[in-house]
A and B are shown apart, each in its own frame.
Chain A
Amino acid sequence: MTAHRLPSGGLLIDRARPVEFRFNGKPVKGFAGDTLAAALLASGRTLMGRSFKYHRPRGVVAAGVEEPNALMCVGEGPRATPNQRATMVEIAPGMSARSQNHWPSLEWDVGAVNAAIASVAPVFSAGFYYKTFLFPRIAWKHLYEPVIRQSAGLGPAPEGVDPDEYEHLHAFADVLVIGAGMAGLAAARAAAEAGARVIVAEQGPRAGGRLLSESDIEIGGMPGADWAAGEAAALAAMPNVTLLTRCQGAGLYDHGYALLDEEPKEGPSRRLWRVRAKRIVIATGAIERPLAFANNDLPGVMLAGAVRDYLALWAVAPGREIVVFANNDDAYRTALAAHLAGLTVKAVIDCRAEAAGALPEAARAAGIAVRTGMIVAKAKGGKALKSVLVAKRAADGRVAGALEEIGCDVLAMSGGWSPAVHLFSHCGGKLRWDEAQAMFRPAPERGAPTGADGEVNTFVAGAANGLLSTAEGLADALAAGARAASDLGFSAVAAEAPSATEPGMTPLQPLWFTPSVGKYAHGTKHFLDFQNDVTAADVELAAREGYESIEHAKRYTTLGMATDQGKLSNINGLATLANALAAPIPEVGTTTFRPPWTPLSLGSIAGRDAGTLFKPVRRTPMHDWHEANGADWEPVGEWRRPFTYRRAGESREASVAREVRAVREAAGMLDASTLGKLLVTGPDAGRFLDLLYTNMMSTLKPGACRYGLMCNENGFLFDDGVVARLPNGDFLCHTTTGGAERVHGWMEEWLQTEWPELKVHVANLTEQFTQIAVAGPKAREILQPLTGMDLSASALPFMGIAEGEMAGIPVRLFRISFSGELSYEIAAPAHRGRALWDAIREAGAGQGIQPYGTEALHVLRAEKGFIMIGDETDGTVTPQDLGLSWAVSKKKADFIGKRAQERPFLSHPERERLVGLETLEPGKRLPDGAYAVADPAAKTPEVIGRVTSSYLSPTLGRAIALGLVKRGPERMGEVISFPLEKGEVMQARIVDPVFYDKEGARQNV
């Protein structure tokens, strides 16, 4: 037992299960159920981190999700997770936690020099970075930013691959209730009793919320905590209820979509629930506000409610001598709880002139000194609180009279409570200022989230709805739950709220700022935002400098922009700004809360999309063969295609050259399965294709193929491929690999939105067929023995189609060529693709057949001057630019792009057009994308063209390129210049783009 662990009590801890963990390398003992913060406090540690900017010593302020200071890195190595709130992490045997943002150690931190400097000069005041590092511009990137990045920031990112498992889960509910405190439990029960399917998500380990910590609330004649336990048990037993703990409501989105982030007890490290709910009840309670007095960030200064939590939930006394500083009755509960726990309550400092409520009276009756009309002017201490200076508060809010020093190690502060309206705001819920309670609360009458049907689908209940009293909150929550269910047609019986008793509360007095005494001194800071080290003076400075909008002041000072999104600082900050501007708070307004409620781990967001499942890779039936045979993979769309098949010791260039030569001299085989294959059928199929392609397709005879081009409405070429008219009259349109889905979508879009009268069906058969190209002078002799079909030129001429069997597999042969060689593309059912591949490979082994990859394919087609979508086209190139006018019909009345191509600039003679390029140095390849200029010596050379494809041609033994050059075809033989890096200029001669076999003799055999 430590000095700070109370001998009894602690609702959440199991004293029978001691747990040892390590903090900054040293062993610490706690109990199962302790949070890191509770166990560290119990061990007597109050210093838990250093602040972000000034590296000031910081202790824990809160007991829950709103904690700004005690951020720790939990776990080691690749499992390390930075910026974990010590108040939310439950300790486990062997756990390791480290404090952050300090060097070399938490106790002796070099960065604290910032704070020392800050005591004499306004370093790191609001806008410091903007003002100081503005000039010279270049220094920001190379000097200032790297240095600042080193010394700023929170925990470091873990190193290595996270071995933990993360998963997503889609879930559906009639009613989603976020928060299982009193209001959440009541709302869930009301909805569930009516028969609705309910999901309840509680971020803590146990349902009950503040009922677990408050000893003076009775519901239904029993202590609040017992009532909560009973309700939670009842809900858990209902088949239509899913009650989740350790699961935060992370974000609300359109139409009832919500994200919940669960830390399950078993299974994955995190589970992200993606919930679609018809109705949502937000019951997220309220967050206590700190008070802004000098040095209010000293370790030992805590929220009053948090002090009660540590006493009640974990039997931890954060200190031995306590002073309470408050503007409301609720904080007296802390004085009473501390007193009851045997701690010394030195005084309650209440800024109100009078405190006559039930709780102050109870405190007085317990012998606690209640000092009204007073404030805490300053906290004193080094790394921990030693004492507070208190004084009378004058009517104008200033400190009056003599200062009195009271020794204490805990100051429990309370500035009132702010409803946790974050989730309501995520999806557009509006707020209003409640003057009497000094809080922003939901104002659904001004705007509330709606479902797909336009009906309001989100309600806020209990303290989150601004109803801080037990009885009101309970009734509100029951009504919200019943309303949610009855909206959905469930007959909700209006349950009578159980009786609720608690001490009556008298009104609070807003207290946004407590002035220091004497001369204003740097170093006695009034912190508003603990995590981002933003002080009241920063906000006032921003106001003086003209940042009057809260949105501007926020960004200028970084108030509320830390990982806690200003859970403690927002209201105090905007009240401070309102004071500085002498404007009412509602006029200053609030900033917008955005998801997530608390930071989500990147693992939660990624879910399963990590490692080998990061991105699906599409595989052809031959993928494994390629893999096993040296494939140098290239991503093409979502596919992987072999770039080349490298043999042992072979360079990539040599491998490509070998494959090209194999095709030109013997035969090559290519896995062309990834090509898009779209079946177009129906009585209007021909008419439809005539509209889509630039050339005529309706005249294609069954059994024949035709190369076709597709343009967009602007006349630019976007896909090409061979259209096959199958023997049964159907059209099979081949597309580029990357274009299959796009062209399919394009066809459906035109059919569904523009030409619904056309009777056409399109089926995407891309994956139904494996396609193998066999190209080369020996292609026929290799294939003929495998099939009974007659492959002779007379029986199956160029651009012909045949159907039959090959190696016992049903196939369709297309005599088409992208290499300029005798070539067959053989389509077979995908489940038999690998068998066909193997059969052809074996059949051709004697004739030297070799598999070839995409790079050899590119070289082969470039040698023939065939264009490649994506190389020769970039969305600004027309078929005419590429010398493909022969494939653009002049007879057709219309096709997509026709009208656009008639615009003057698309038929302008100065347009860049396709040419071949031969470098004057034959062995030297032009770089892809190199620009041609009219005069490389000119100061600003005029660009006259560019390289679109460039290869070393093994066939021709020289470098070749395709390019787009102004008036290109008119400049045959001209030598043009390509300025490269470092003054080098390459020269190339404009030639015909068909470098090899211009007559096409090789493919017409």
Chain B
Amino acid sequence: MSDPVTATGGARFAGSDCAISDLGALGMVAIRGEAGDPAFAAAVQAETGFALPPVRRFEGEAEAGLCWMSPDEWLLTCPYAEAEARAGRLRAAFGGLHALAVNVSDARAAFRIEGEGARALLARGAPVDLAPAAFGEGDVRRTRLGQVAAAFWLGRDGAFRLVCFRSVGAYVFDWLKASAASGARPAGF
């Protein structure tokens, strides 16, 4: 079978104070259900290994984990090859519950952003308080970057992961690259 090809095909950029790289094909499963329903929470935990993260939090390591997306939506991130099967197992586990799990791995582009300038880079495009005290490890935002919708979280390894729609992956990469190019860090970052 052909290898999955992402929107930017493994693009990378190394700026003077931050680096941007295409994460490659990342498995993503959108999960929707009632946060307050113990059966739903238990099913998610049983299948993913993670309790439903609270508002704007990511549980997990590196790229693999469970991300809060909205009051009734979460995003499971996993190896690309596992996503379809894990979505299927989740749906099976939900049984008669009114809940959804669907593979959305291909609908998105995913990037890794790291380095001293990463916070300032994101702050150029996202209306998010990126001060370390305000945005720490495991914090998540669904927001905008430049002119498009995006979501990002900060991993325990100090690197940000950012996802956006696949169709604008090239735009987001080009935007990040242009914004990181000068390397001039604004005061306070």
Contact = CB atoms under 8 A, between A and B. Distances in A.
Contact of B104 (A262, A267, A768): A768
A608 interface: yes
B165 A682 contact: no
Nearest to A612: B174
Nearest to A197: B131
B105 interface: yes
A77 interface: no
Nearest to A836: B2
B87 to A, nearest CB: 11
Interface stretch (B36-44, B46-54, B55-63, B179-187): B179-187
B1 A767 contact: no
Nearest to A758: B98
Contacts of A766: 107
A393 B25 CA distance: 84
A170 B126 contact: yes
Contacts of A144: none
Interface string B15-44: 000000000010000101000000000000
Interface in A273-317: 273-274, 276
Interface of B: 1-2, 4-7, 25, 30, 32, 80, 84, 98-100, 102-108, 120, 123-131, 134, 146-148, 165-171, 174-175, 178-179, 181-188
A608 B175 contact: yes
A769 B2 contact: no
Contacts of B134: 172
B141 to A, nearest CB: 11
A765 B174 contact: no
Contacts of B175: 608, 613
A834 B188 CA distance: 44
Contact of A199 (B5, B107, B188): B188
B6 A831 contact: yes
12 contacts: A167-B179, A168-B125, A170-B127, A267-B182, A608-B178, A608-B179, A682-B98, A761-B99, A766-B107, A767-B108, A768-B105, A831-B6
A582 to B, nearest CB: 51
A860 to B, nearest CB: 25
A621 interface: yes
Contacts of B123: 169-171
Given A608-B179, A681-B100, 9 more contacts: A168-B125, A170-B124, A197-B131, A264-B186, A267-B184, A267-B186, A616-B147, A621-B7, A763-B102
B16 to A, nearest CB: 11
A630 to B, nearest CB: 20
B6 A268 contact: no
A830 B167 CA distance: 10
Given A242-B188, A808-B2, A830-B166, A613 B98 contact: no
Nearest to B186: A169
B124 A679 contact: no
Given A170-B127, A808-B2, A639 B167 contact: yes
Interface string A160-180: 000001011111100000000
Contacts of B102: 679, 763, 765
B125 A830 contact: no
B7 A619 contact: yes
A480 B126 CA distance: 30
Top 5 nearest A-B pairs by Cβ distance?
Answer: A267-B184, A242-B188, A831-B4, A835-B2, A618-B167
B182 A243 contact: no
A768 B187 contact: no
A997 interface: no
A762 to B, nearest CB: 9
A244 interface: yes
A608 B182 contact: no
B103 A768 contact: yes
Contacts of A807: 2
A810 B183 CA distance: 43
B78 to A, nearest CB: 15
A835 B106 CA distance: 14
B106 A830 contact: yes
Nearest to B170: A619
A683 interface: yes
A87 interface: no
A167 B183 CA distance: 12
Nearest to A610: B178
Contacts of A339: none
Interface string A610-639: 001101111111000000000000000011
Contacts of B124: 167-170, 608
Contacts of A829: 4, 105-106
B148 A832 contact: no
Nearest to B28: A768
Contacts of B84: 810
Nearest to A616: B171
A835 B5 contact: yes
B90 to A, nearest CB: 13
B100 A761 contact: yes
A904 B74 CA distance: 48
Nearest to A764: B107
A616 B25 contact: no
Contact of A613 (B4, B127, B178): B178
B147 A615 contact: yes
A276 B126 CA distance: 12
A767 B184 contact: no
B161 to A, nearest CB: 17
Nearest to B6: A831
A834 B2 CA distance: 10
A195 B140 CA distance: 26
Contacts of B187: 242-244
Given A171-B188, A616-B168, A679-B102, A609 B146 contact: yes
B167 A619 contact: yes
Contacts of A618: 165, 167-168
A170 B5 contact: no
Contacts of A266: 182, 184
A284 B113 CA distance: 39
A90 B54 CA distance: 51
B127 A276 contact: yes
Nearest to A615: B147
A172 B108 CA distance: 29
Contacts of A244: 187
B5 to A, nearest CB: 6
A58 interface: no
A767 B167 contact: yes
A759 interface: yes
Contacts of B169: 619
Contacts of A612: 174
A244 B98 CA distance: 53
Contact of A268 (B106, B125, B184): B184
B167 A831 contact: no
A768 B98 contact: no
B5 A834 contact: yes
A809 interface: yes
Contacts of B167: 618-620, 638-639, 767
Contact of A767 (B2, B5, B128, B166): B166
A764 B32 CA distance: 13
Contacts of A168: 124-125
A977 B55 CA distance: 64
Contacts of B127: 170, 274, 276
A267 B168 CA distance: 26
B134 to A, nearest CB: 7
B38 to A, nearest CB: 18
Contacts of A761: 32, 98-100
B139 to A, nearest CB: 14
Given A169-B186, A613-B171, A809-B1, A831 B105 contact: yes
B184 A830 contact: no
A683 B174 CA distance: 43
Contacts of B120: 169
B165 A268 contact: no
A271 interface: yes
A831 B4 CA distance: 5
